[in-house]
Amino acid sequence: MKSKRKIRRLTIVGMGFLTVDQEKKGHEVYLTNISKGGIGIYAHKPLKAGTRVLITFTHRDIEGERRYEDQPGTIVWCSRCGSVYAAGIRFMSLNP
């Protein structure tokens, strides 16, 4: 089946840190995939669509250096998936 997505998505496995707008305390999340437009996560609590968030994660750049990213975004969807919640975050701005 051919994907209908406009932006290519990369599957990843890792940890990130999610801070929900208006909350002082953030929490760890599992990262599942990423694209220029957003990121997929698993969280231990439900997230309301439309909520603004800040997702923090690390990755290696093209030279192999570790880079830290803080990406503001918005929760687009969230659904229960067993004992966790799967969610999609749309980044506020597209970074190359």
Tokens of 94: 């597209």
Report if residue 5 sits inside a domain: no
Amino acid at 16: G
Sequence-ordered list of residues with C-beta below 8 angstroms from that of 20, at least 6 positions apart, any chain: 26, 47, 51, 52, 53
Looking at residue 23, its pLDDT comes to 84
Q: What pLDDT does 62 receive?
A: 80
Query: How many domains does the chain contain in total?
Result: 1
For residues 16 and 11, give the distance between their C-alpha atoms in angstroms, rounded to a whole number.
14
Specify the residue for token string 């969610």.
87
Mean pLDDT of all residues in 73-88? 97
| Residue 93 domain-assigned (yes or no) | no
Percentage of the residues of the chain whose pLDDT score is greater than 90: 59
The rounded percent of the chain whose pLDDT value lies above 70 is 88
pLDDT for the residue numbered 2 = 56
Tens digits of per-residue pLDDT, 10-48? 777 789 999 998 788 899 999 999 888 999 999 999 999
- Residue 36 domain-assigned? yes
Report yes or no on 74 lying in a domain: yes
- Do 34 and 10 meet the contact criterion of CB atoms below 8 Å apart? yes
Determine, yes or no, domain membership for 2.
no
Which CATH number does the domain housing residue 71 bear? 2.40.10.220
Domain enclosing residue 43, as ranges: 10-54+67-88
For the chain, the residue count is 96
